[in-house]
Amino acid sequence: MPDEPPVTSAAPAIAPTVNAVETASLTSLTVGGGCAAKYSAARLEELLKGFVPVEADDLLVGLDPADDAAVYRLDDERALVFTVDFFPPLVDDPNLFGRIAATNALNDVFAMGGTPLLALSVAAFPEELASELVGAVFAGADEQVRAAGAILAGGHTIRDTEPKYGLAVVGTVHPDGIWV
């Protein structure tokens, strides 16, 4: 028998074009997806060593102690809740990835007792990724943002070798109604 090349099971990062559309397995483009991409609490503490959190009377939730969202009092009746959350994909379905990422960010506002108002996308994708695939991520996110009663109003998108997606979300809460 002639020598045959070894068989590998690794999928290419970007699959060949199909009908002139680049297709990809989103998770094959990442090192670690979802919250697995986050630093551990110990490593984050080490990275922030020497950083002195700002103290302000109207900053109701900030870095001391650290939380997933910040809360800033506007007046006696209203406070803003602000969060940003993004990560590499943990699923291959682009629409589902967008929905998961949006839900994760929106939940940071809900966890403070707040109501989301406005969201902006934070997105990084390989340039050769199919526009339809990226559009499906955005569509999934928009679906979840609308279901929460908020508006996906734009965002920022950059080129990167590893896909990442999430949202910056602003919401409101009564200053006495914060859940911490």
Q: Give the active site residues.
A: 35
Question: How far is it, in rounded angstroms, from Cα 131 to Cα 137?
Answer: 10
Are 27 and 89 in contact by the 8 Å Cβ rule? The answer is yes
**Letter for the amino acid at 76?**
D
User: φ, ψ for residue 168 (rounded to 5)?
Assistant: -100, 130
Strands 115-125 and 151-159, sheet pairing: parallel
DSSP 92-124: S-HHHHHHHHHHHHHHHHHTTT-EEEEEEEEEE
Are 114 and 81 in contact by the 8 Å Cβ rule? The answer is yes
User: φ, ψ for residue 56 (rounded to 5)?
Assistant: -150, 140
